[in-house]
Structure 1
Amino acid sequence: MSIGMSFGVVFGLTLFDNIALGIPIGFSVGLAIGAGLDADAKKKGLVI
């Protein structure tokens, strides 16, 4: 989630010139990536 938020802040500042718009975008991207990695680990039988 932290990686997604950092990319979201940079994305928000460069594209929208608004940091407050980048934080939720990065939060949702980080959440989606984390959910995908958790689902992959669960499918492989690894402990999360």
Structure 2
Amino acid sequence: MSKDTETNEDKVPFNAPMLAVGIAIGAALGAALSNVALGIGVGVAIGAGLALSGAGKEEKPDD
């Protein structure tokens, strides 16, 4: 049997700061539209998309 050598970071490229950015954008949008709860909901969706897509993640150089 071979051992799985991939770490969780390799399997799921999640970037928590991008989630925070999305929530902040959504909260600002919600405040502008006078519905902060809806804005935060949209922000979570935006942030999760950014976080899972790896936006803003630095590439590691291959040595």
Compute the TM-score of the two structures, normalised by the length of structure 1. 0.70
> Which has the larger helix fraction?
1
Compute the TM-score of the two structures, normalised by the length of structure 2. 0.55
User: Aligned-pair RMSD on alpha carbons?
Assistant: 2.3
User: Percent of aligned positions with the same letter in both sequences?
Assistant: 24
Q: Which runs of 5+ in 1 are unaligned?
A: none
* Higher Cα Rg, which structure: 2
Return the alpha-carbon distance in structure 2 between the equivalents of residues 11 and 34 of structure 1. Answer: 19
Runs of 4+ in 1 over 4 A off after TM superposition: none
Return the alpha-carbon distance in structure 1 between the equivalents of residues 60 and 53 of structure 2. Answer: 14
